[in-house]
Chain A
């Protein structure tokens, strides 16, 4: 590779030809502030915060897109640079809703942090200030253009998902992020993945806060308020309390939930084990009886909604299994309520999810195992909302002891833990299918070909003489690639796992916000997934069908085999083809 030599604030550094000033500065250990820049995703030089002085350049240049030349001397911290950045911030603030005290992103806002660092005068510029209505039309997020700085990171995130329902409209002072024809977001084919909320630098895109519903339920003595937590939460929640990325905080999380007042703290991992035995049964049934293949997983509600909008013809391939969240709620309101002698109407199920689409999923049709329109899950909170509840309750998270889940629906397996990472559901299903088909308790259970953060993974296994071709995709743009291959006949898979978010649930739209600098320089997906694979490795039981609760429920409650009528009634659902821009 051709290298060139540059100096950043006097520090000599050698970078590949074509590298930008920002890349050179990062290589030299010099931080240049950015707002619009997302490595390889949004390199547009729009926000002008990264301006620097560089020899050979006329005026200040944007470090994020300006290429280095050999011998270039770059200065990132001169009076001229600081003054320009400060003015830019003050101009941004001139149209910004500055109610930072009541903004959910306060103290975690990239704009606020820079304004503090540069000592801005928030009233420096007056003039025209557009007023936008909040978009609250979806169950999962609130879009507030009054806090938007037009960095277009959300647009890039939406484009990365091959959804692109938001973009920049109009021009000049009228420019705003919006939907085609100013439709409400809820009237567009948005898949609710929430990736936009994870990359927004300010409070312009935030999850819809449902914590008040949970506080109200917790205060209602007539309700049994039960909580369940998704596999990936334990790998990410610590980040909200300044713990290192990839710290497994399962024990502290359970302790915190108990202190918040939940009557029982259950693990969605248990439900994930039910998902695996039902899905593996469905797969084997389709293989034997000539059903629609490949079977495609349906755990990710963002992916399911994507399929309903963009590939309705593929819906027969979707597994009819409910997602672990919905199975968890269904089991709590049927099996567990009956066991405790509770009326399902008095049970309030809260789930802690890495995901904004789960807020959409709880309201879907055909999600009522207990009947009478009783929802399987009442409220889905994101990891971020849970962190806020813990803070509001005055719980010192890092000082908590480690506690265990309540055992009734809180015993899990290694197979369930890895659901939170791309390839995890596939591996869990293969472990079970392998045992069922060979009739043995196999010791070789690592299917490493489907691990890792690649967007698309393919593998082929021979299980008891049956050739199983599998594919794993994460991120709906990769899902699109697989769907097109399947439709054209180019690929002939048996089983396909798809997660809506790039990297799977560990990188879900409801996970803790990390500033873009961290997202650019740390592989969040990989670091968070490591915590899950380490836990799997350390567990005694690593196969879903060996979960004692699974055995107990099928024997004594469903009174049948996997896939029996009672299990089907409680744990399966249906899908609908959705028309894009129907209104």
Chain B
């Protein structure tokens, strides 16, 4: 699946940049450490925007295209930021049969964003995932680490209201 790129402006802090530069300094002797650096960068920023990929490319002395190629190959790397509340709707078979698709649609409608996107205030981000192993609770979604199960469309607004 093609990864969505975010149009939200980059708002990295000086502190984050210092952290990333330290990671690069530790690893730049070995170009094969590129993926490890990218993982750490995603840990620091939550995602890998263009500005961060440029820093990694310059620091590791590899081309920007190389960094981008790796970022778009591995599912774990994200090009869109995560919100304060990251909502993940399980679209595994059991959840889907029990109506998870409707939950996903409803969330997109309420938040005004598509899948793999983040609201402009960076409060919510939304993604779909595959089976999280809680089929007995289908349909399931998670908000950050918290699991909500046996849901219907009507529960969605209430869940969002709890996120303050």
Contact = CB atoms under 8 A, between A and B. Distances in A.
Interface of A: 163-172, 174, 179-181, 188, 580-581
B50 A181 contact: yes
Contacts of A179: 65
Given A181-B50, A581-B54, A167 B2 contact: no
Contact of A165 (B1, B50, B63): B63
A80 to B, nearest CB: 32
B66 A164 contact: yes
Interface in B44-79: 50, 53-54, 62-69, 72-73
A170 B5 contact: no
B65 A171 contact: no
B3 interface: yes
A174 B2 contact: yes
Contact of A181 (B1, B62, B68, B73): B68
B54 A167 contact: no
Contact of A167 (B50, B53, B65): B65
A165 B65 CA distance: 6
Contacts of B62: 164
Nearest to A166: B65
Given A174-B2, A180-B53, A181-B5, A169 B63 contact: no
A156 B2 CA distance: 24
Given A168-B73, A169-B69, A170-B73, 20 more contacts: A163-B63, A164-B62, A164-B63, A164-B66, A165-B65, A166-B65, A167-B63, A167-B65, A167-B66, A169-B68, A169-B73, A170-B2, A170-B3, A170-B72, A171-B73, A174-B1, A180-B64, A180-B65, A180-B69, A181-B5
> 4 closest A-B pairs (Cβ-Cβ)?
A164-B63, A180-B68, A167-B65, A180-B64
Contacts of B67: 180
Nearest to B79: A181
Contacts of A581: 54, 64
Contacts of A172: 1
SS class, residues of chain B in contact with chain A = helix
B66 A169 contact: no
Contacts of A181: 5, 50, 68
A185 to B, nearest CB: 11
Nearest to A172: B1
Contacts of B63: 163-165, 167, 180
Nearest to B5: A181
Nearest to A581: B64
Contacts of B54: 581
Q: Residue among B50, B54, B63 with the most chain A CB within 10 A?
A: B63
A135 to B, nearest CB: 14
B69 A167 contact: yes
A167 B64 CA distance: 10
Q: Residue among A167, A171, A172, A180 with the most chain B CB within 10 A?
A: A180
Nearest to A163: B63
A580 B53 CA distance: 13
A171 B66 contact: no
Nearest to B57: A180
B64 A171 contact: no
B2 A164 contact: no
A180 B62 CA distance: 12
Q: Residue among B3, B53, B62, B65 with the most chain A CB within 10 A?
A: B65
Nearest to B3: A170
Contacts of B69: 167-169, 180
A313 to B, nearest CB: 15
Contacts of B2: 170, 174
Contacts of B72: 169-171
A168 B69 CA distance: 6
Given A169-B72, A181-B50, A581-B54, A164 B65 contact: yes
Contacts of B1: 172, 174
Contacts of B73: 168-171
A269 B2 CA distance: 51
A165 B68 CA distance: 11
A154 to B, nearest CB: 12
24 contacts: A164-B63, A164-B66, A165-B63, A165-B65, A167-B63, A167-B66, A167-B68, A168-B69, A168-B73, A169-B68, A169-B69, A169-B72, A169-B73, A170-B2, A170-B3, A171-B72, A174-B1, A180-B64, A180-B67, A180-B68, A181-B5, A181-B68, A188-B65, A580-B64
B50 to A, nearest CB: 6
Nearest to A164: B63
Nearest to B74: A171
Contacts of A168: 69, 73
A487 to B, nearest CB: 15
Interface in B90-136: none
A348 to B, nearest CB: 38
Contacts of B50: 181
Contacts of B66: 164, 167
Q: Residue among A171, A179, A580 with the most chain B CB within 10 A?
A: A171
A311 to B, nearest CB: 14
A96 B66 CA distance: 25
B129 to A, nearest CB: 17
Contacts of A188: 65
A535 to B, nearest CB: 39
Nearest to A580: B64
Nearest to B67: A180
A166 B69 CA distance: 9
Nearest to B68: A180
B93 to A, nearest CB: 20
Q: Residue among A166, A167, A172, A174 with the most chain B CB within 10 A?
A: A167
Nearest to A182: B5
A179 B57 CA distance: 14
Nearest to B53: A180
Contacts of A166: 65
A294 B68 CA distance: 36
A182 to B, nearest CB: 8
A164 B2 CA distance: 22
Interface string B1-18: 111010000000000000
B152 to A, nearest CB: 34
Nearest to B2: A174
A458 B164 CA distance: 69
A1 to B, nearest CB: 29
B8 to A, nearest CB: 15
B134 to A, nearest CB: 27
